[in-house]
Amino acid sequence: MQGRELEDLLVSFLVLLLLFSDFSPKLIPYVTPALFTAFVLHELAHRQVARYFGYYSYYKRWDLGIALALIFGMFTKLLTGSTWVFAAVGSVYIYAPYQYWVDKRSEGIIALSGPITNIIVAILGYVLIKVISLGSWFWILYYMTKVNAWLAFFNLLPFPPLDGFKVFRWNVSYWAIVFGVSFMLYYL
């Protein structure tokens, strides 16, 4: 990971940490591992799958999205008492220097890799919560499960530039199944 990419990922992570922790310092220890599994692994999945297909890829923050996320989060916190999260703070940029057409299949699979990662982590968290006695780990796994499920659901909305738009454009059936699973997980 290059210096600029690491910086962009860190800035995006810290903004999302403020939002998902509801601007509460008490929640930061619980939300930090949840956000690492939800956000960082999601973006790394996109990057690695893109590289598997032979594309040049890297994470880049979106400064306007970061500003909008903070403003929206603060505004909703002041009005409602809880933070509504707008999570479009950056994305993995993918380039195919020698390809002059859009390969919808590889684009769809790359887009699907992030939400699938979130779904796997959410299922793992949910199973661990139900199967073993956790004590103080309960809240870490609870936030990990909820944040991953929410991020999968949000990213699968079929609107550009979200992952769901690319998956929907490639294969509506796959999109519908994964979108439905993410919705179910969020409401468990």
Which residues have a catalytic role annotated? 43
- Cα gap 66→88, rounded to integer Å: 7
CB 142, CB 27: distance < 8 Å: no
Residue with tokens 């210096």: 3
Amino acid at residue number 154? F
Question: Cis omega (within 30 of 0) on the bond before 161?
Answer: yes
Beta strands in the chain (DSSP E): 56-61, 90-95
